[in-house]
Amino acid sequence: MPAHLRVVRKPRPADRPADAQRPADAQRPADAQRPADAQRPADAQRPADAQPAASDVLRGLHARNPAAERRLLDVYAGLVERMLFRILGDVRCLEDLVQDVFARVFSRIDDVREPEALKPFITSVTVFVAREAIRKKRRHRWLAFFASDELPEIAAVVDPEARQGVRAFYRALEALDPDERLAFTLRFVEGQELADVAAACDVSVATIKRRIHRAELAFVERCKKDDVLSTWLAEGDRWT
């Protein structure tokens, strides 16, 4: 590991020589050894290797601390990758898109002032990057999600009919307006609450409801034209 990424821990009292443990005039009775606010059960003490708090991580990010950046990647890379995959379905450029998300997050991290705003901020950046990718695909007329590389989710499905259904599902999503597709996917594939979807897309709840409604109507129309998805709809196996 590069030296600048190593976290150097300060030695704990138990690591010091015995004669350096406490000055002679500090040898007090056992019940007076610690300040009142330190009288806690052993299991309430924070372990030496405890993970840093979100506030500590955010301060480190503001200071451009490599260890804090590494911690952010460890915590949120999986979330970003999953969201991009479920929205786009294309694994060929997934790694590049994940890197793009975090590059944007790090460049704008000073916009985040509170620890609880960190996850919503990362989610909104992920949605922005996904929207750009969808529009770029349309401009370049890329063929779809299932050319030579199969999606892991599809490859993991053994039932041929189920595999066909997953492909058809993503083809139907591809036909949606980019903003409506994002709203639909976040709501019904990611399972996010309406307020969270609205925040991620940077619009009001009323606007996101309209987008989801339009996306549902368009998606159903696409499903009706597909043999697999039309059966799926007829059986009542809806995304909700």
What pLDDT, in 10s, does the model give residues 6-41?
333 334 444 444 444 444 444 444 444 444 444 444
Output the CA torsion sign for 144, 119, 5, 107: positive
Q: For residues 90 and 170, give the distance between their C-alpha atoms in angstroms, rounded to a whole number.
A: 10
Q: Which of 166, 134, 136, 161 is nearest to 150 (CA)?
A: 166
**What percentage of the chain reaches a pLDDT higher than 70?**
65
The structure's pTM equals 0.60
Longest dimension (CA), the chain: 86
- Tokens for 213? 């409604």
Q: Which domains does the chain have, with CATH numbers?
A: 53-142 (1.10.1740.10), 146-240 (1.10.10.10)
Mention every residue, 6+ apart, whose C-beta is less than 8 A from residue 7: 67
Q: For residues 147 and 89, give the distance between their C-alpha atoms in angstroms, rounded to a whole number.
A: 12
Q: Out of 105-119, 141-155, 192-206, which region has the weakest mean confidence (pLDDT)?
A: 141-155
Question: Which region holds residue 64: left if phi is over 0, alpha if psi is between -120 and 50, else beta?
Answer: left
- Tokens for 181? 């597709």
In this predicted structure, the answer to whether residue 111 has a pLDDT above a threshold of 90 is yes
